[in-house]
Amino acid sequence: MNNGEVIRARNLARYYRVKKGGFFRKAMTLKALDGVSFSINKGKTLAVVGESGCGKSTLARLVTMIERPTAGQFEINGIDGDAKDKATRKKLRRHVQIVFQDPYGSLNPRKKVGAILEEPLKINTDLNAFQRQERALAIMAKVGLSREQYSRYPHMFSGGQRQRIAIARALMLNPALLVADEPVSALDVSVQAQALNLLMDLQDELNLAYLFISHDLSVVRHIADDLMVMYLGRPVEQGEKEAIFEQPLHPYTRALLASTPRVDKSARKIRAILKGELPSPLNPPPGCTFHKRCPHMTDICTRQQPGLRLLHDRQVACHHAESIAEKGG
């Protein structure tokens, strides 16, 4: 890992054995994540986008060590993310924290805000009660909460304020990497921008790396540096955000962008309609898993799964990316 690199992942995979039907039916393999590689530097944001079921939240669970990968590996600050000994895993958990989607469900309603914020310090540090309180109050100030709110319960706050509390809790241990799993999707549109601006301000101040998971491309465009578009557990396009937004080369990326509302008529240049439903990950189509929904499908797409390859300053997994780039549509 280079000096600026907080996390590096190589060919991460997570498979589940699923029994479907009767007791004597053979178990099937669900490939929730199937070969994901990326790296994030200090102060940078990698956004992961895709439909529900594409593997975004599975990736978040692996990176935050809630689950272990079936295959592949990742390092956080040079430490093996799949370390077996408890001491190393405990140390790693201080380097990476998560902000969940639901600000209502992710906070204990029976605990006051101060106790919620200090809990990570009680578990992971030797700080005394006074030091824990001072740390909690300092972080509350960073996220725009007042000292008076220290002794209040979560139900006394709005949704936006609760998400600020969740962000504050994630910052208590000075993490290097923050995993944000759909952090604004449960908030009113009127407060989404406030939460995003807060995350960006904190990133600038603390030099944090973000793994930002979302299905909303308008949110991603606001916050991301790099973009990874996923479909059925695999990346299909990956690279700098501006390059992908300006000229998407995978038909799935094009369809996602075309479905994003645009005010400016000149920005509505991409015409791509996403047909059909997301296939079952228990029974994905052969070849390119997107071919049954793709307007560019040919015979090779039904037989051969495309791997990521470098084209126009990004990685893309499509047999026809060159012709899509030439036609511009």
Final residue in a domain of this structure, among 190, 224, 258: 224
pLDDT at 20 over 90: no
Number of Cβ atoms within 10 Å of the Cβ of 267: 11
For residue 164, what is the enclosing H or E element? helix 159-171
Asked if residue 319 and residue 184 are part of one domain, the reply reads no
- Count the domains in the chain: 2
In a domain, 7, yes or no: no
Do 180 and 249 share a structural domain? no
What number of other Cβ atoms are within 10 A of residue 259's Cβ? 12
- The helices-and-strands tally (H runs, E runs) of the chain is 11, 12
Torsion of CA 60, 286, 258, 315, to 10 degrees: 60
- Quick one: pLDDT band at residue 215, thresholds 50, 70, 90? confident
What the block records as the tokens of 329 is 């549509």
Residues 45 and 132 in one domain: yes
Whether residues 218 and 258 share a domain: the answer is no
Residue 280 has phi, psi (to 5 degrees) of -70, 130
**Tokens describing residue 35:** 């070969």
Q: What is the DSSP letter of 307?
A: P
- Evaluate whether residue 50 is within a structural domain: yes
Q: What is the pLDDT of residue 27?
A: 81
Residue recorded with tokens 């071919």: 291
Q: What is the pLDDT at residue 328?
A: 66
CATH number of the CATH domain containing 109: 3.40.50.300
Is residue 76 situated within a structural domain? Answer: no
For 37, 224, 257, 285, the CA distances from 236, given in Å and listed in that order, are 12, 17, 14, 15
Q: How far apart are CA 212 and CA 195, in angstroms?
A: 13
Determine the structural domain holding residue 275 and report its residue range: 227-329
Task: Let me know: does 116 contact 139? Beta carbons within 8 Å.
Answer: no
Cα–Cα distance, 326 to 44 (Å, whole number) = 31
**What's residue 261's pLDDT?**
60
Please check whether residue 120 lies inside any domain of the structure.
yes
List pLDDT tens digits, range 56-89.
Answer: 999 999 999 999 999 999 999 989 998 888 888 8
pTM listed for this prediction:
0.91
Residue 78 belongs to some domain of the structure: no
